[in-house]
Amino acid sequence: MATNYVMPKLAMGMNEGIVVEWLVSEGQQVERGAPLMQVETEKVAYDVEAPVAGWFHILVPAGETVPVESVIGQFAASAEEYAEIAGAAAPRGTTASTPAMVFDDKLTSTGAVMGTVPAAAATAAGGGRIKASPLARKLARDRGIDLATLAGTGPEGRIVKRDVLAAEAVAQASTAAAPPSATGELSVKGTVPLKGMRGAIARRMTQSLQTSAQLSHFSEVDATGLLKARKSFIADADAYGTRVSVNAFVVKAIALACQAVPIANSAIVDDQIVLWNEVNVGIAVSLPGQGEWDSGLIVPVLRNAERKGLVQIDTELRDLATRAREGRLVPGETEGGTITLSPTAAMGGEAMYSWSTPVLNLPQALIVQPGMIMPRAVVHKGKIKQREMMPLSVTFDHRILDGDPVASFVVRLRRCLQAPELMLA
């Protein structure tokens, strides 16, 4: 009897998934644990393994968006059974397989960092799957490049990011610029479908602004002592195994401030304000794209920041950010955040001293956004001196926090950042 295969639920908040590509062909005999398909959620793309063995019948084509637990394929226990369910001749050269049994879905995260333009599965000349890194697959999908036309320069001929970008550069160089429209109509440079990650960002940002009472608090932090403390960590980076970043100090300061002002580490859940014991800091990570027009954003979570030291926090931050950009986060790593850090200073670009208003990551009560540290002339101990100053923006939900607790949180946060020895005790 054929075994139905359903769209797996890969994360708590997942309601639907996109079948980005089938990693097997119609009627192929599949072993249990073999790569079966790539699924895209609102946050990450995953390679999903076959839970059973059998001849696979595809019911939903690549590119379709399907609700979780909807039947998208079937495993036949034999070639003859496949022919019966697929209405086709039995595959040649096949032998009967043992009856399929139902197991929990297995999955592994891939490097496909949220592609939005699904493409058909690339296959090699012999019918096998082309060797390509997940990030290369994502870039090829986004740019409409056929992997089958590329020669890989990675290990064992694997197609990697540089191969896709090189092919794109060649294609762009060979395409003459379109002449201006004689009618004055606008020409289209590109399109970005509002689905997948981009659609999720659009929905959640709109929902956040429409359903919460958001206000922002702006202040400055004298980060001169922080940078001095960081230099001592950098000097011993070999011993620590990492160059402790400014973001690690900020995460630790957030954790201590939340412990001092517990209402800052809370959320509205089922018409009540819930205060959390753990301080799980979500870190906003910008995802790679060709430019601003096709970039993305994901928020992996560093858990129990209140229990960890600066070195451990920095090590985990770097690991989360790296795996987020490479699309190697696993299910659950973007869930369970209680407060968010939006580190704009890490985005690079032209140095500028400025504040902005980060949007709340609902249902959280507060989001912290430090700016780029830059030297400024300020009054310090009664004299005008050059100090390393950091702009600081804190957006909060006024339904949860009033001005006084927000001020207390910011005071504690600034105190920790201006006196980093408080975080080292």
Residues classed as catalytic = 398
Dihedral sign of CA atoms 272, 298, 296, 340 in order? positive
Q: What does the block give as tokens for 344?
A: 């704009």
Token pair listed for 210: 């429409």
Distance of alpha carbon 121 from alpha carbon 118, whole angstroms: 9
Maximum CA extent, the chain: 89
CA–CA–CA angle 74, 76, 78 (5° rounding): 165
8 Å CB contact between 99 and 77: yes
In whole angstroms, what is the distance from residue 348 CA to residue 35 CA?
37
Please answer whether residues 162 and 168 qualify as being in contact, where contact means their C-beta atoms are separated by less than 8 angstroms: no
What's the rounded Cα separation, in Å, for the pair 188 and 141? 19
Nearest to 151 by CA among 131, 127, 126, 129: 131
Using an 8 Å Cβ cutoff, are 400 and 268 in contact?
A: yes
> Does residue 358 have a cis bond before it (omega within 30 degrees)?
no
Asked if 70 and 7 touch (Cβ cutoff 8 Å), the reply is yes
